[in-house]
Amino acid sequence: MSESSELKRVVLVGFMGAGKSAVGRRTATRLGWQFVDVDAQIEAQAGKSIAQIFRTEGEPAFREIEHRITLDLLQQSEVVISTGGGWPVRDDRMGQLPDGTLSVWLVVDAAAAVARGNRWPGTRPLLNDPNPMQRARQLLAERTPEYSRAELHLETHGASPAVLAGRIVHYIRGQEH
């Protein structure tokens, strides 16, 4: 976020299973802001699950809906947005965040992402692969350069969503003057 602009929104980015929704919800509560999970918005608007969208319409159609919804949310104020894990990695999205946006990267490794994905089988189509670990490592390696452009980086290993939300709020308070 640039020094002079007032904070209007927080955008959480990071790989699948990083805990973006859980941390986002708690951060919004702490700030007294609205929380929006982009994946949930997509499912509500499309009237089907993300796995179904991937299956019936394909990934490019999913990316189009994701882009449209996220772009709209990025115009709103007093909102914490939890993005889908693939959103930041195309079209210089991290470079195009509007003024007043704090971007936060929730860092997770491939093993933790796959383990967390296994708790909700079938919900992460991109890890629906004969070798999910190899796929997760590959995707994470491709995406890390974009995730790492976020202003605040938080390691999620061993930290609860409440603790991570507390770190985000602490960071924001530290920026206020």
Q: Using CB under 6 A, list all residues that contact ligand S3P.
A: 16, 20, 39, 50, 84-86, 124-126
Please state the closest distance from residue 63 (CB atom) to ligand S3P, in A.
9
Beta carbon nearer to ligand S3P, 50 or 164: 50
CA-based nearest residue to 50, from 103, 86, 80:
86
CB of 117 to ligand S3P, least distance (A): 8
**In the complex, what is the shortest distance from the CB of residue 39 to ligand S3P, in angstroms, rounded to a whole number?**
5
Q: Which is nearer to ligand S3P, 63 or 100 (CB)?
A: 63
Q: Closer to ligand S3P at the Cβ: 5 or 61?
A: 61
In the complex, the smallest distance separating the C-beta of residue 163 from ligand S3P, rounded to whole angstroms, is 20
CB of 174 to ligand S3P, least distance (A): 27
For ligand S3P, which is the closer residue by CB, 111 or 175?
111
The distance of closest approach from Cβ of residue 124 to ligand S3P in the complex, given in angstroms and rounded to an integer, is 5
Contact criterion met (CB below 8 Å) for 66 and 84: yes
Q: Please, which residue, 8 or 20, has the CB nearer to ligand S3P?
A: 20
CA distance 64 to 90: 12
Which of residues 37 and 102 has its CB atom nearest to ligand S3P in the complex? 37
The whole-angstrom separation of Cα 102 and Cα 100 is 7
| Structure-token pair, residue 142 | 């491709």
